[in-house]
Amino acid sequence: MDAIVQMFTDALAPVSALQLVVLAAAAAFAGFIRGFVGFGGALAVIMALSLVLGPRTAVAISCLSGLPTMFQLMPNALRTGERGFIVPFVLASFAAAPVGTWILVTAAPEIMKIAIAVFVLIMVGLMYKGWRMSPGGGLRTLLTAGGIAGLVQGAAGIGGPPAVAVALARPGTAELQRANVIGAVSALAICNLPPILFMGLFTQQVLVFTLLLMPFYAGFTTVGVRFFSGRGNAMFRSAALAALALMGLVTLVLSVRDYLSA
Protein backbone atom coordinates (compact mmCIF):
# COMPACT_ATOMS: atom_id res chain seq x y z
CA MET A 1 0.00 0.00 0.00
CA ASP A 2 2.81 2.41 0.85
CA ALA A 3 4.39 1.73 -2.54
CA ILE A 4 1.15 2.60 -4.34
CA VAL A 5 0.74 5.83 -2.36
CA GLN A 6 4.34 6.76 -3.16
CA MET A 7 3.78 6.03 -6.85
CA PHE A 8 0.78 8.38 -6.96
CA THR A 9 2.63 11.03 -4.95
CA ASP A 10 5.63 10.96 -7.29
CA ALA A 11 3.45 11.07 -10.41
CA LEU A 12 1.36 14.00 -9.19
CA ALA A 13 4.23 16.03 -7.71
CA PRO A 14 5.01 18.08 -10.87
CA VAL A 15 1.34 18.96 -11.44
CA SER A 16 -0.51 21.73 -9.62
CA ALA A 17 -4.05 21.43 -8.28
CA LEU A 18 -5.30 23.78 -11.02
CA GLN A 19 -3.68 21.65 -13.70
CA LEU A 20 -5.34 18.55 -12.25
CA VAL A 21 -8.71 20.28 -12.45
CA VAL A 22 -8.02 21.27 -16.07
CA LEU A 23 -7.07 17.69 -16.99
CA ALA A 24 -10.16 16.27 -15.30
CA ALA A 25 -12.34 18.81 -17.12
CA ALA A 26 -10.64 17.97 -20.43
CA ALA A 27 -11.21 14.24 -19.86
CA ALA A 28 -14.87 14.88 -19.04
CA PHE A 29 -15.32 17.06 -22.12
CA ALA A 30 -13.52 14.46 -24.26
CA GLY A 31 -15.84 11.75 -22.97
CA PHE A 32 -18.87 13.90 -23.70
CA ILE A 33 -17.63 14.52 -27.25
CA ARG A 34 -17.01 10.80 -27.73
CA GLY A 35 -20.53 9.92 -26.61
CA PHE A 36 -22.27 12.83 -28.34
CA VAL A 37 -20.48 13.10 -31.69
CA GLY A 38 -19.46 9.44 -31.85
CA PHE A 39 -15.70 9.98 -32.08
CA GLY A 40 -13.13 12.73 -31.63
CA GLY A 41 -12.69 12.52 -27.86
CA ALA A 42 -8.94 12.10 -28.24
CA LEU A 43 -8.75 15.50 -29.95
CA ALA A 44 -9.78 17.20 -26.70
CA VAL A 45 -7.83 15.20 -24.16
CA ILE A 46 -4.59 15.08 -26.19
CA MET A 47 -4.31 18.87 -26.28
CA ALA A 48 -4.70 19.37 -22.53
CA LEU A 49 -2.42 16.47 -21.68
CA SER A 50 0.20 17.70 -24.14
CA LEU A 51 0.32 21.17 -22.58
CA VAL A 52 0.52 19.90 -18.98
CA LEU A 53 2.49 16.66 -19.25
CA GLY A 54 4.15 16.85 -22.67
CA PRO A 55 3.25 15.17 -25.99
CA ARG A 56 4.88 11.79 -25.28
CA THR A 57 3.03 11.27 -22.01
CA ALA A 58 -0.17 12.59 -23.60
CA VAL A 59 -0.14 10.07 -26.45
CA ALA A 60 0.69 7.19 -24.07
CA ILE A 61 -2.20 8.08 -21.74
CA SER A 62 -4.59 8.41 -24.68
CA CYS A 63 -3.49 5.00 -25.95
CA LEU A 64 -4.25 3.28 -22.64
CA SER A 65 -7.52 5.16 -22.13
CA GLY A 66 -8.94 3.80 -25.39
CA LEU A 67 -8.32 0.13 -24.57
CA PRO A 68 -11.50 -0.61 -22.52
CA THR A 69 -13.78 0.60 -25.31
CA MET A 70 -11.74 -1.30 -27.88
CA PHE A 71 -12.04 -4.60 -26.01
CA GLN A 72 -15.77 -4.02 -25.66
CA LEU A 73 -16.55 -3.16 -29.28
CA MET A 74 -13.93 -4.89 -31.42
CA PRO A 75 -15.23 -8.51 -31.25
CA ASN A 76 -18.64 -7.58 -32.65
CA ALA A 77 -17.03 -5.40 -35.33
CA LEU A 78 -14.92 -8.33 -36.49
CA ARG A 79 -18.03 -10.52 -36.69
CA THR A 80 -20.26 -8.09 -38.56
CA GLY A 81 -17.77 -5.80 -40.32
CA GLU A 82 -16.35 -6.03 -43.82
CA ARG A 83 -13.14 -8.01 -43.52
CA GLY A 84 -12.04 -6.86 -46.97
CA PHE A 85 -11.90 -3.36 -45.46
CA ILE A 86 -10.85 -4.01 -41.86
CA VAL A 87 -7.94 -6.40 -42.51
CA PRO A 88 -5.98 -4.21 -45.02
CA PHE A 89 -6.64 -1.11 -42.93
CA VAL A 90 -5.44 -2.83 -39.75
CA LEU A 91 -2.29 -4.18 -41.41
CA ALA A 92 -1.38 -0.78 -42.86
CA SER A 93 -2.04 1.11 -39.62
CA PHE A 94 0.06 -1.35 -37.62
CA ALA A 95 2.90 -1.03 -40.15
CA ALA A 96 2.87 2.78 -40.07
CA ALA A 97 2.31 3.41 -36.36
CA PRO A 98 5.92 2.65 -35.30
CA VAL A 99 7.15 5.32 -37.72
CA GLY A 100 4.77 7.83 -36.13
CA THR A 101 5.86 6.81 -32.63
CA TRP A 102 9.51 7.22 -33.67
CA ILE A 103 8.70 10.78 -34.79
CA LEU A 104 6.98 11.41 -31.45
CA VAL A 105 10.02 10.20 -29.48
CA THR A 106 12.76 11.83 -31.56
CA ALA A 107 11.18 15.20 -32.33
CA ALA A 108 11.52 18.07 -29.88
CA PRO A 109 8.54 18.21 -27.48
CA GLU A 110 7.94 21.85 -28.33
CA ILE A 111 7.65 20.99 -32.02
CA MET A 112 5.31 18.07 -31.30
CA LYS A 113 3.02 20.29 -29.23
CA ILE A 114 2.64 22.59 -32.23
CA ALA A 115 2.18 19.62 -34.58
CA ILE A 116 -0.54 18.12 -32.37
CA ALA A 117 -2.44 21.42 -32.27
CA VAL A 118 -2.23 21.69 -36.07
CA PHE A 119 -3.33 18.06 -36.49
CA VAL A 120 -6.30 18.72 -34.21
CA LEU A 121 -7.42 21.75 -36.21
CA ILE A 122 -7.19 19.75 -39.45
CA MET A 123 -9.18 16.86 -37.97
CA VAL A 124 -11.85 19.23 -36.63
CA GLY A 125 -12.14 20.75 -40.09
CA LEU A 126 -12.66 17.31 -41.64
CA MET A 127 -15.28 16.42 -39.03
CA TYR A 128 -17.09 19.75 -39.48
CA LYS A 129 -17.24 19.37 -43.26
CA GLY A 130 -18.38 15.76 -42.95
CA TRP A 131 -15.60 14.84 -45.38
CA ARG A 132 -15.64 11.36 -46.85
CA MET A 133 -13.43 9.69 -49.39
CA SER A 134 -14.87 8.97 -52.80
CA PRO A 135 -16.46 5.52 -52.82
CA GLY A 136 -15.02 2.66 -54.79
CA GLY A 137 -11.44 2.79 -53.53
CA GLY A 138 -9.52 -0.44 -53.97
CA LEU A 139 -6.85 -2.18 -51.94
CA ARG A 140 -4.26 0.51 -52.64
CA THR A 141 -6.60 3.18 -51.31
CA LEU A 142 -7.27 1.19 -48.13
CA LEU A 143 -3.57 0.55 -47.53
CA THR A 144 -2.73 4.22 -48.10
CA ALA A 145 -5.52 5.42 -45.81
CA GLY A 146 -4.56 2.92 -43.10
CA GLY A 147 -0.94 3.96 -43.35
CA ILE A 148 -1.75 7.67 -43.03
CA ALA A 149 -4.10 7.09 -40.10
CA GLY A 150 -1.56 4.86 -38.36
CA LEU A 151 1.19 7.42 -38.88
CA VAL A 152 -0.91 10.23 -37.39
CA GLN A 153 -2.03 7.95 -34.56
CA GLY A 154 1.54 7.03 -33.69
CA ALA A 155 2.83 10.59 -33.84
CA ALA A 156 -0.07 12.47 -32.27
CA GLY A 157 -2.69 9.96 -31.07
CA ILE A 158 -5.48 11.44 -33.20
CA GLY A 159 -5.78 9.26 -36.29
CA GLY A 160 -9.49 8.55 -35.75
CA PRO A 161 -11.28 11.10 -38.00
CA PRO A 162 -9.49 10.03 -41.21
CA ALA A 163 -10.25 6.40 -40.35
CA VAL A 164 -13.93 7.24 -39.90
CA ALA A 165 -14.01 9.13 -43.22
CA VAL A 166 -12.56 6.12 -45.05
CA ALA A 167 -14.92 3.67 -43.36
CA LEU A 168 -18.01 5.73 -44.15
CA ALA A 169 -17.03 5.93 -47.82
CA ARG A 170 -17.63 2.21 -48.19
CA PRO A 171 -21.02 1.16 -49.60
CA GLY A 172 -23.32 -0.91 -47.43
CA THR A 173 -25.95 -0.76 -44.73
CA ALA A 174 -25.73 1.50 -41.69
CA GLU A 175 -24.93 -1.52 -39.53
CA LEU A 176 -22.07 -2.54 -41.82
CA GLN A 177 -20.66 0.98 -41.93
CA ARG A 178 -20.86 1.25 -38.15
CA ALA A 179 -18.98 -2.04 -37.80
CA ASN A 180 -16.33 -0.78 -40.24
CA VAL A 181 -15.97 2.46 -38.27
CA ILE A 182 -15.58 0.56 -35.00
CA GLY A 183 -13.08 -1.82 -36.58
CA ALA A 184 -10.94 1.00 -37.97
CA VAL A 185 -11.00 3.13 -34.81
CA SER A 186 -10.38 0.11 -32.59
CA ALA A 187 -7.37 -0.84 -34.70
CA LEU A 188 -5.97 2.65 -34.17
CA ALA A 189 -6.53 2.29 -30.43
CA ILE A 190 -4.02 -0.54 -30.29
CA CYS A 191 -1.74 -0.06 -33.33
CA ASN A 192 0.65 2.22 -31.43
CA LEU A 193 0.52 0.13 -28.25
CA PRO A 194 3.52 -2.09 -29.20
CA PRO A 195 5.82 0.76 -30.33
CA ILE A 196 4.93 2.90 -27.31
CA LEU A 197 5.66 -0.08 -25.05
CA PHE A 198 8.93 -0.72 -26.90
CA MET A 199 9.96 2.93 -26.55
CA GLY A 200 9.38 2.79 -22.79
CA LEU A 201 6.71 5.50 -22.71
CA PHE A 202 4.38 3.63 -20.35
CA THR A 203 5.82 5.17 -17.21
CA GLN A 204 4.37 5.22 -13.69
CA GLN A 205 3.10 8.73 -14.37
CA VAL A 206 1.22 7.48 -17.44
CA LEU A 207 -0.40 4.67 -15.45
CA VAL A 208 -1.39 6.98 -12.59
CA PHE A 209 -2.97 9.63 -14.80
CA THR A 210 -4.77 6.97 -16.86
CA LEU A 211 -6.35 5.58 -13.69
CA LEU A 212 -7.29 9.07 -12.48
CA LEU A 213 -8.77 10.37 -15.73
CA MET A 214 -10.48 7.27 -17.08
CA PRO A 215 -13.55 7.56 -14.78
CA PHE A 216 -14.17 11.12 -16.01
CA TYR A 217 -13.86 10.02 -19.63
CA ALA A 218 -16.05 6.93 -19.26
CA GLY A 219 -18.69 8.64 -17.14
CA PHE A 220 -19.17 11.60 -19.44
CA THR A 221 -19.24 9.34 -22.49
CA THR A 222 -22.50 7.98 -21.09
CA VAL A 223 -23.72 11.54 -20.50
CA GLY A 224 -22.92 12.43 -24.11
CA VAL A 225 -24.85 9.45 -25.45
CA ARG A 226 -27.91 10.34 -23.36
CA PHE A 227 -27.69 14.02 -24.27
CA PHE A 228 -27.59 13.15 -27.95
CA SER A 229 -30.62 10.87 -27.60
CA GLY A 230 -32.63 13.51 -25.82
CA ARG A 231 -31.69 16.72 -27.63
CA GLY A 232 -30.75 15.84 -31.19
CA ASN A 233 -27.57 16.37 -33.12
CA ALA A 234 -27.32 19.34 -35.50
CA MET A 235 -26.81 22.45 -33.35
CA PHE A 236 -24.93 20.78 -30.50
CA ARG A 237 -22.57 18.90 -32.80
CA SER A 238 -21.49 22.21 -34.34
CA ALA A 239 -21.04 23.71 -30.87
CA ALA A 240 -18.89 20.78 -29.77
CA LEU A 241 -16.68 21.06 -32.85
CA ALA A 242 -16.40 24.82 -32.33
CA ALA A 243 -15.19 24.17 -28.78
CA LEU A 244 -12.61 21.71 -30.09
CA ALA A 245 -11.44 24.27 -32.66
CA LEU A 246 -11.10 26.91 -29.95
CA MET A 247 -9.08 24.52 -27.80
CA GLY A 248 -6.87 23.78 -30.81
CA LEU A 249 -6.23 27.46 -31.46
CA VAL A 250 -5.43 28.17 -27.80
CA THR A 251 -3.10 25.16 -27.67
CA LEU A 252 -1.37 26.28 -30.88
CA VAL A 253 -0.82 29.82 -29.55
CA LEU A 254 0.54 28.59 -26.21
CA SER A 255 2.75 26.00 -27.90
CA VAL A 256 4.22 28.57 -30.30
CA ARG A 257 4.81 30.91 -27.37
CA ASP A 258 6.65 28.18 -25.43
CA TYR A 259 8.70 27.30 -28.51
CA LEU A 260 9.76 30.92 -29.12
CA SER A 261 10.64 31.46 -25.47
CA ALA A 262 12.68 28.24 -25.20
Poorest-pLDDT segment among 47-56, 201-210, 224-233: 224-233
Eight-state DSSP code of residue 39: S
How does residue 229 score in pLDDT terms, banded at 50, 70 and 90? low
Collapsed DSSP state (helix, strand, coil) of residue 8: helix
Question: Which has more pLDDT, 167 or 40?
Answer: 167
Mean residue pLDDT across the chain: 80
Rounded Cα gap, residues 186 and 94, in angstroms: 12
The share of the chain scoring above pLDDT 90, in percent, equals 16
**Residues 88-113: pLDDT tens digits?**
988 999 999 999 999 988 988 878 88
Element (H, E) at 97: helix 83-106
For 173, residues 6+ apart whose C-beta sits below 8 A from its C-beta are none
Rounded Cα gap, residues 238 and 235, in angstroms: 5
pLDDT above 90 for 125: no
The three-point CA angle 52-55-56 to 5° equals: 115
- 59 contacts 195 by C-beta, under 8 angstroms: no
Rounded Cα gap, residues 200 and 27, in angstroms: 24
**pLDDT score at 24:** 92
Annotated domain spans of the chain: 2-261
**Residues 178-221: pLDDT tens digits?**
778 778 887 887 888 999 999 988 999 999 999 999 888 888 88
- Tell whether pTM > 0.85: no
